[in-house]
């Protein structure tokens, strides 16, 4: 998928219009997670830059073949010239300067075409050039995979954040409806002289505070939508809503830490780029050692030349002359040239190779640490979710009993308000705990460089 237009063409058949709703415009599209990932692949600027860089691979490889592997060709299609000279000084048979007995102008013209082929080989220069370019192409390909994985994680995180904020918004709306019912109950009991005006005022205050919380949550929801739109990078995307998507919640106890670490050490894009850097540094050592090898020069030239006195050969394109041909083979032994500079270059290349190996080892250690830490945090968040859900059940039952006691007159409104606040907090905690689990799952997948949840696609569709 190379352009945003193509991405929209693929999505055009799958973007569904929502059902009739007073809160939703008729042209609002319902965006699924897969569609969001497809839009991000087609439009996200960071990922598109990585894709564009990879487009240089074929062009640069062809350039290496024609510039460093195959003989370099120089073709002179047409060259014509007219020359005149006047020489006052000549030389005798012994090379001594004498006065030129002929002091007239001499004129001649020529027209020529030529083809020149040159080939220079020093050691394994051809293989070094091909290896270096192949590694450069591989690094760009891995960088594209890394950008695709990062995009997938970022889009999924932004998408899930919209779901979280929308779920919190619905919870706040339900809490506001509950506060209004409590206010009606307080007013009814006040009308029956079973409660004071203070209870009514406290109930009014609870409604206003909940309305403020709802407004703040609505703003948070809109900000999450803006973040998702930015991650997608599609400036032509119109009004949209995210489709209800089940959260990938599972027991992380089924995951094996050693298996995840082994997988990360095999497929993690950052580590793969480090390995490519090591191989590139190895090519640098070979290139530095090449300075000691003999250099072989090959040249072949074929030309056609028409040259006559005066201007007869000017613009002469007739091919009656025989072709001139020549070739030469040369060998140069540069091993004793710049001995100390060559030795220094080889030493620097070897040090660079050692440093890249240490960088690879450092990256591997960091990847392993990230995977193990993310798995521990995922297990901790799963337990936190279980405790939050249990707390929500207890708080919900306590609130139900507190409201009954308030209606019977055995509990004050302040006591009821405390139960209401506790139940609201636990409800929010459950929502946040579920999405925090998803966030930690995305952190783990980013550390591994591959999906880990059962039945989940690769982030960003990366293989």
Residue 209: pLDDT over 70: yes
- Name the percent of the chain lying above pLDDT 70: 92
Per-residue model confidence (pLDDT) at position 441: 95
pLDDT at 456: 56
pTM of the model: 0.78
Per-residue model confidence as pLDDT tens digits over 391-449: 999 999 998 998 888 777 777 777 777 888 888 889 999 999 999 999 999 999 999 99
With a cut of 80, say whether residue 33 has pLDDT above it: yes
Question: Degrees (nearest 5) of the Cα angle 435, 426, 195?
Answer: 150
What is the per-residue pLDDT for 323? 83
Q: Higher pLDDT residue, 332 or 450?
A: 450
pLDDT of residue 338: 79
Cα–Cα distances in angstroms (integers) from residue 221 to residues 64, 85, 155, 163, 241, in the given order: 53, 87, 16, 9, 11
What's the pLDDT band for 276 if we cut at 50, 70, 90?
A: very high
pLDDT at 433: 95
Rounded average pLDDT over 225-230:
93
CA dihedral sign, ordered 389, 395, 398, 399: negative
* Helices 339-408, 257-267: inter-axial angle, 10-degree rounding: 140
Residue 345 has pLDDT above 50, yes or no: yes
Tell me the per-residue pLDDT of 381-393, one tens digit each, with 9 for 90 and over. 999 999 999 999 9
**Closest alpha carbon to 44 in 160, 164, 144, 166:** 144
For residue 338, the tally of other CB atoms under 10 A from its CB is 12
Q: Which pLDDT score is estimated for 303?
A: 87
Q: Average the pLDDT over 278-295 and give the result.
A: 90
Highest mean pLDDT among 29-33, 102-106, 436-440: 436-440
pLDDT score at 22? 40
The pLDDT assigned to 399 comes to: 87
294: confidence class by pLDDT, cuts 50, 70, 90: confident
What pLDDT score does 203 carry? 83
User: CB under 8 Å, gap of 24 or more: what pairs does 141-144 form?
Assistant: 141/54, 141/57, 142/269, 142/272, 142/273, 142/276, 143/50, 143/53, 143/54, 143/269, 143/273, 144/47, 144/50, 144/51, 144/53, 144/54
Residue 342 has pLDDT above 60, yes or no: yes
Q: What is the pLDDT of residue 26?
A: 47
pLDDT at 46 over 60: yes
Query: pLDDT value at position 193?
Result: 66
CA gyration radius, the chain: 39
Average pLDDT over residues 280-289: 92
Confidence label for 9 from pLDDT (cuts 50, 70 and 90): very low
Decide if pLDDT at 138 tops 90. yes
Mean predicted confidence (pLDDT) in 193-197: 71
Mean pLDDT of 360-372: 96
Average pLDDT over all residues of the chain: 85
Question: Is the pLDDT reported for residue 151 higher than 90?
Answer: yes
pLDDT band at 234, cuts 50/70/90? confident
What pLDDT is recorded for position 285? 93
Q: Residue 87's CB: how many other CB atoms inside 10 A?
A: 10
Confidence band for 347, pLDDT divided at 50, 70 and 90 = very high
């Amino acid at each position: 998928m190379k352009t945003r237009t193509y991405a929209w063409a693929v999505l055009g058949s799958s973007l569904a219009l929502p059902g009739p709703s007073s809160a939703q415009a008729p042209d609002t599209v319902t965006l699924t997670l897969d569609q969001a990932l497809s839009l991000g692949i087609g439009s996200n600027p960071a990922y598109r830059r990585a894709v564009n860089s990879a487009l240089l691979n074929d062009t640069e490889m062809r350039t290496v073949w024609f510039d460093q592997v195959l003989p370099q060709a120089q073709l002179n299609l047409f060259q014509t010239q007219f020359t005149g000279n006047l020489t006052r000084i000549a030389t005798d048979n012994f090379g001594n300067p004498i006065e030129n007995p002929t002091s007239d102008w001499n004129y001649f013209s020529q027209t020529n075409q030529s083809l020149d082929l040159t080939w220079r080989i020093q050691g394994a220069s051809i293989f070094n050039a091909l290896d270096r370019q192949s590694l450069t192409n591989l690094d760009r390909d891995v960088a594209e995979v890394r950008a695709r994985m990062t995009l997938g994680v970022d889009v999924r995180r932004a998408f899930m954040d919209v779901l979280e904020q929308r779920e919190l918004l619905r919870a706040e709306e339900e809490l506001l409806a509950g506060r209004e019912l409590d206010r009606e109950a307080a007013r009814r009991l006040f009308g029956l002289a079973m409660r004071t005006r203070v209870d009514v005022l406290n109930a009014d205050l609870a409604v206003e505070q909940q309305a403020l919380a709802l407004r703040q949550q609505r703003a948070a929801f809109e900000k999450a939508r803006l973040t998702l739109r930015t991650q997608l990078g599609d400036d032509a995307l119109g009004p949209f809503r995210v489709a209800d998507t089940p959260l990938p919640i599972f027991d992380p106890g089924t995951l094996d830490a050693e298996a995840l670490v082994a997988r990360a050490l095999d497929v993690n894009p950052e580590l793969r780029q480090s390995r490519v850097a090591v191989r590139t540094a190895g090519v640098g050592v070979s290139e530095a050692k090449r300075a000691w090898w003999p250099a072989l020069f090959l040249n072949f030239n074929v030309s056609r030349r028409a040259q006559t006195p005066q201007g007869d050969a000017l613009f002469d394109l007739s091919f009656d002359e025989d072709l001139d041909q020549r070739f030469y083979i040369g060998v140069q032994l540069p091993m004793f040239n710049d001995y100390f500079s060559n030795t220094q270059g080889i030493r620097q290349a070897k040090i660079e190779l050692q440093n890249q190996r240490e960088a690879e080892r450092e990256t591997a250690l960091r990847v392993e640490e990230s995977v193990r830490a993310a798995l521990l945090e995922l297990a901790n968040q799963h337990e936190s979710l279980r405790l939050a859900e249990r707390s929500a059940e207890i708080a919900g039952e306590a609130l139900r009993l507190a409201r009954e006691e308030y209606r019977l007159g055995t509990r004050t409104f302040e006591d009821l308000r405390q139960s209401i606040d506790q139940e609201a907090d636990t409800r929010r905690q459950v929502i946040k705990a579920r999405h925090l689990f998803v966030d930690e799952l995305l952190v783990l997948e980013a550390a591994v460089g591959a999906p880990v949840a059962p039945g989940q696609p690769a982030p960003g569709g990366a293989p």
